[in-house]
């Protein structure tokens, strides 16, 4: 139990550091850091730690209970995550997820690595058409990958290394494809708008031209890197294809409820793909999907109540979103960004771009989601870099790509992360270790390979 006093002491020490911010703002920062430390050290489960952090914020007057402390629980992103858990349950109950998974295994099931590449390829193919990375990961890929793990007898309790590999491949694929296309993540059009405010026009074409080579290189290397990091016990899936064929025969013809589930899935996919045309919010589509699952008898209220990880995620992620949001509203993020920008005075444009790019990337440890950081920091950092002489198009694109790639680091960095983490295949410590390695990997590929490619195509 020494971990809990350590978290409290860390928060107090941070609060006592001299600063120029209002006490309320600095107090929330101290509580946030203490809470994050508690999540890492785990003196109690994650939901309990975040609840304690929120309680301290309310008791000390840092957050008002009615006006501020509970606002995260109304976030559309939170409810998208929860609804996706319920839709995933429908895939499992009807065995549609197993049927799709067995077909994947039948086609590419000779090796663990080839199945990993099939997941990455699937993400690449659907990413341009589904503008929500959360919907793509949780609503489309997660039910299939989870069923694939179960089909190969991999659960969080038994043979977990195989599932750990597939889950990480799915998540990291989602992060990379979110950066690949202007239409594959909701924050990308936001970056496009902020770039236009600086007089730089980002189009679907020049975004894709800049991302295609480093993005594809990252997707090719990523399953191999994860193979090394997660060390799945089984590399060659002996008899997996024959086993999958037998299971498909045993499943028999597709059932009525599977057809219902397939139809619901198709409706959700179309509405997500053409969100701009239909004008239906991504989260509303998820609510519709769950409602249709209930109407068709695919899931029931008891199934929803028993989905414990959905409710656990609702608690801890809502609280982190609340803290992150009010760090921005109270002025901490703008103060932090201004302090970092001041460090680059007197540097060249490219030096400024490198320094602020790294600071922007690793500042994501402070954020529960992409949108808050892009809203708070993108415009300011881009303006400083361009004013210092950095190439304008290169600058807005690098910060745009980073606005998705930095999501790889934590289990709360983007809304798809808690859904994958919540499956239980990977410990928090391992998730953060793999995430940090991938932060370096992504920077190396996108900046290393990318800089050569960007020079060839004339982006700078």
**Domain-embedded: residue 397:** no
**Domain-embedded: residue 53:** yes
Could you tell me if 329 and 375 are in contact, meaning their C-beta atoms sit under 8 angstroms apart? no
209 and 164 part of one domain: yes
The predicted structure's pLDDT at residue 1:
54
**Domain-embedded: residue 238:** yes
175 and 54 part of one domain: no
Reply yes or no on whether the pLDDT at 216 is more than 60.
Answer: yes
**Domain-embedded: residue 254:** yes
141 and 82 part of one domain: yes
Judged on CB neighbours under 10 Å (0-12, 13-18, 19+), 318 is buried
4 and 149 part of one domain: no
pLDDT confidence of 437, banded at 50, 70, 90? very high
**Domain-embedded: residue 250:** yes
The tens digit of pLDDT for each residue in 177-208 reads 999 988 888 788 878 888 888 889 888 889 99
Could you tell me if 141 and 174 are in contact, meaning their C-beta atoms sit under 8 angstroms apart? yes
The predicted structure's pLDDT at residue 313:
81
**Domain-embedded: residue 318:** no
The predicted structure's pLDDT at residue 171:
95
151 and 253 part of one domain: yes
Rounded (10°) angle between helices 204-230 and 392-405: 40
269 and 226 part of one domain: yes
**Domain-embedded: residue 135:** yes
Query: What counts of helices (H) and strands (E) characterise the chain?
Result: 25, 0
60 and 134 part of one domain: no
107 and 4 part of one domain: no
Domain boundary among 40, 69, 98: 69
Give per-residue burial for 172-185: e unless 16+ CB within 10 Å, then b: bbbbbbbbbbbbbb
Structural domain including 58 reads 1-69
- d(Cα 266, Cα 271) in Å, to the nearest integer? 9
270 and 145 part of one domain: yes
Question: What does the pLDDT average to over 8-37?
Answer: 88
Domain boundary among 26, 54, 69: 69
**Domain-embedded: residue 455:** no
- d(Cα 184, Cα 227) in Å, to the nearest integer? 26
CA end-to-end span of the chain = 54
Question: What does the pLDDT average to over 34-58?
Answer: 86
27 and 167 part of one domain: no
Output the pTM of the full model.
0.77
13 and 144 part of one domain: no
Query: Which H helix or E strand runs over 77?
Result: helix 76-94
156 and 286 part of one domain: yes
Residues with Cβ within 8 Å of residue 50, at least 6 apart in sequence: 35, 39, 315, 316, 319, 320
Domain boundary among 22, 41, 69: 69
Overall domain count for the chain: 2
The predicted structure's pLDDT at residue 268:
86
The tens digit of pLDDT for each residue in 277-288 reads 788 887 898 899
Reply yes or no on whether the pLDDT at 2 is more than 70.
Answer: no
Token representation of residue 266: 């198709």
State how far the alpha carbon of 232 is from the alpha carbons of 224, 226, 420, in Å: 11, 9, 17
The tens digit of pLDDT for each residue in 125-150 reads 888 867 778 878 887 788 888 888 88
Could you tell me if 384 and 344 are in contact, meaning their C-beta atoms sit under 8 angstroms apart? yes
């Amino acid at each position: 139990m020494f971990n809990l006093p350590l978290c409290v002491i860390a928060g107090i020490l941070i609060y006592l550091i001299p600063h120029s911010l209002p006490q309320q703002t600095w107090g929330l920062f101290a509580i946030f850091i203490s809470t994050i430390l508690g999540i890492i050290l785990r003196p109690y489960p994650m939901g309990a730690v975040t609840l304690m952090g929120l309680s301290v914020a309310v008791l000390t007057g840092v957050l008002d209970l009615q006006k501020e402390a509970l606002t995260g629980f109304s976030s559309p992103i939170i409810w998208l995550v929860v609804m996706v858990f319920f839709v995933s349950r429908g895939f499992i109950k009807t065995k549609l997820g197993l049927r799709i998974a067995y077909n994947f295994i039948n086609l590419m099931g000779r090796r663990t690595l080839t199945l990993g590449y099939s997941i990455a390829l699937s993400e690449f193919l659907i990413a341009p058409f589904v503008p929500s990375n959360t919907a793509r990961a949780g609503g489309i890929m997660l039910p299939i990958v989870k069923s694939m793990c179960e089909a190969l007898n991999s659960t969080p309790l038994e043979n977990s290394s195989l599932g750990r590999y597939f889950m990480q491949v799915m998540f990291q694929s989602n992060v990379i494809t979110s950066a690949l296309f202007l239409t594959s993540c909701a924050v990308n059009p936001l970056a496009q708008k902020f770039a236009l405010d600086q007089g730089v026009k980002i189009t679907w074409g020049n975004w894709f031209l800049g991302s295609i080579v480093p993005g594809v290189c990252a997707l090719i290397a990523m399953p191999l890197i994860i193979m090394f990091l997660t060390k799945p016990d089984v590399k060659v899936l002996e008899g997996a294809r024959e086993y999958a064929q037998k299971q498909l025969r045993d499943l028999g013809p597709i059932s009525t409820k599977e057809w219902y589930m397939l139809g619901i899935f198709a409706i959700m996919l179309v509405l997500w793909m053409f969100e701009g045309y239909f004008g239906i919010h991504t989260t509303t589509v998820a609510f519709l999907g769950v409602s249709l699952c209930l109407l068709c008898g695919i899931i029931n209220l008891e199934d929803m109540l028993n989905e414990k990880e959905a409710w656990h995620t609702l608690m801890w992620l809502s609280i982190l979103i609340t803290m992150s949001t009010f760090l921005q509203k109270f002025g901490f993020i703008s103060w932090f960004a201004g302090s970092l920008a001041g460090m680059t005075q007197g540097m060249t444009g490219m030096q400024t771009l490198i320094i602020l790019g790294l600071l922007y990337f690793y500042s994501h440890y402070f954020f529960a989601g992409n949108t808050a950081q892009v809203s708070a920091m993108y415009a300011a950092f881009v303006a400083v870099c361009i004013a210092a002489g950095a190439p304008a198009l290169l600058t807005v694109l690098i910060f745009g790509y980073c606005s998705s790639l930095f999501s790889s680091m934590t289990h709360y960095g983007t809304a798809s992360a808690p859904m994958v983490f919540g499956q239980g295949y990977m410990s928090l410590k391992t998730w953060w270790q793999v995430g940090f390695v991938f932060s370096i990997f992504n920077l190396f590929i996108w900046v290393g390979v990318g800089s050569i490619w960007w020079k060839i195509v004339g982006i700078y």
